[in-house]
Amino acid sequence: MGRAIKALGQCDIIYHLGDYASDCKIIKENLNIPVITIRGNCDSKDEGVLEIVQEIEGINIFLTHGHNYGVNFNIFKLRFKALETDSKIVLYGHTHVGKIDIEEDIYFINPGSISEPRDGSKPSVAIIEINNRIIIPRLIHI
């Protein structure tokens, strides 16, 4: 957790995409940065929302854990949700595998997991820079 906090220390906002939402308390105690918590399939109902659309610099970002969208198999349903919500960025978790895909000018970003990476992936977080509507996503292995 300490390396993740260090990597996220310069961010303007932190999105926790579910599972182990209780980690948000540690993040909030160590950083003076807003934290938005998305509830994962392993979290209780009082640990965040299931999904939300946030707007940053005129760009819609759809956030979900992903378990209700079949992300273990593909991002097909997420693509439709992105179009429905006019989102240029989709942030999701559930697979615990960090990756960045671009389809139809939409960024699909899974930051991976700091505590339980799967399928041989390394612990990771994602950082997204948005400047003048230019989107620059990065996976950071910690």
Using only C-alpha atoms, the chain has a radius of gyration, in whole angstroms, of 14
Higher pLDDT, 4 or 1: 4
Domain range holding 126? 2-141
12 token code pair: 């303007």
Domain containing 115 — which CATH number? Answer: 3.60.21.10
pTM of the model: 0.90
The reported pLDDT for the residue numbered 37 is 87
CA-to-CA separations, 4 to 13, 35, 45, 84, 93, in angstroms, rounded: 14, 14, 25, 32, 16
Mean pLDDT of 115-125: 82
The tens digit of pLDDT for each residue in 26-54 reads 777 778 889 888 888 887 787 778 999 99
The reported pLDDT for the residue numbered 61 is 99
The reported pLDDT for the residue numbered 3 is 66
Q: Are 36 and 12 in contact (CB under 8 A)?
A: no
The tens digit of pLDDT for each residue in 68-113 reads 999 999 999 999 999 999 999 999 999 999 999 999 999 999 999 8
Question: In angstroms, rounded to a whole number, what is the distance separating the alpha carbons of residues 137 and 117?
Answer: 19
The reported pLDDT for the residue numbered 121 is 81
What's the structural domain count of the chain?
Answer: 1
1 pLDDT higher than 60: no
